Amino acid sequence: MRRLGILLLLLLAGCAAQRAPKINGVSFVGSREAASQAHVDALLEVYADHAAVMPFGFIREIGSAEIIYDTDRQWFGETRQGARQYIETLQGNGISVMLKPQLWIWRGLFTGEMEMDSEAGWQALEDSYRAFILNYADLAEETGVALFCVGTELEKFVTARPQFWKALIAEVRQHYSGKLTYAANWDEYGRTPFWEDLDFIGIDAYFPLSESRDPSVEELRTGWKRWKEEIRALSEGTARPVIFTEYGYRSMDFTAKKPWLVDRNQERVNLQAQANAKTALFEEFWAEPWFAGGFVWKWFIHHPVSGGAMDNRFTPQNKPAQQVIRTYYQRFQ
């Protein structure tokens, strides 16, 4: 009888873990205009309880140390003022916020390749990046956001200057009292040297899963096995939960072959492939106790005219993938 009681307790504990709330988030894309209640209502419809707000800094070219940010030439939602307005509007609807300041290099060059060719150049970049991040760490504290991301996909910068990053994280903690993460690219996170200085392991989860034009859910779940075990091992080794700071798939053929692609290729629209890929991700991760949730890439504020049946881009809006998100986000509230 005692054995039966123990088994019952274990079963109940397992069910409770499956129902544990997750970060059910979206990446709330900055726009030219302020966020309104109508823009937030669509998030509530899919049971999103977190949103990433993403002000931007711009660099003219790889090798330049100057980060340009918070100017009147930027879209409203990409500035400090706009980020504050988005945050307050979202929070007013019970949606928690991750503030995630990001860099954009002219012509969309990959930020992970950013590096300098001299010590003076590295020091200038460090000074510029420190000012950029502390500006938004202060905003994070002023607005009481739940989570702050200290950087996104900056592998060569991190690899070349690890002591700078450790010092920066310590300084951010003097400005901001909430939780911290870093958004490592899918092929970078295993080499990131400072996870134990943060509260979450953050991964932009564009892992290749399948070579198929029309991958099934089961095929995609099989594709996750290798990556999932590596992620789990890192989480357990560092005693840090994992969040997918970005996750998403384009609604096109071969969506899980190279999910990071952002080129404007002409692959055929494939709405079901996108829905299958999201289903597989939710099935593999959302019930895991070491996994804290994530932020779908990406969600535009003008919901009625975003995405749709003819769109092969990342957004799930007005596509079958939107219903997949709604189903799992409702389940894991």
Per-residue pLDDT reduced to its tens digit, 98-157? 999 999 998 888 999 999 999 999 999 999 999 999 999 999 999 999 999 999 999 999
With a cut of 90, say whether residue 9 has pLDDT above it. Answer: no
Does an H or E element contain 53, and which?
strand 50-53
Angle at 141 between CA 87 and CA 149, to 5 degrees: 75
With a cut of 70, say whether residue 17 has pLDDT above it. Answer: no
Question: Beta strands 56-59 and 68-69: pairing type?
Answer: antiparallel
Q: Which residues contact 270 (CB under 8 A, 6 or more apart)?
A: 213, 214, 251, 252, 253, 255, 312
Rounded Cα distance, 39 and 41, in Å: 6
Fold of the CATH domain 22-331: TIM Barrel (3.20.20)
pTM for the structure as a whole? 0.93
Rounded Cα distance, 4 and 209, in Å: 41
Indicate the range of 5-9, 128-132, 186-190 predicted with least confidence: 5-9
Closest CA to 132 of 185, 83, 76, 184: 83
With a cut of 90, say whether residue 8 has pLDDT above it. Answer: no
Give the pLDDT mean for 35-43.
96
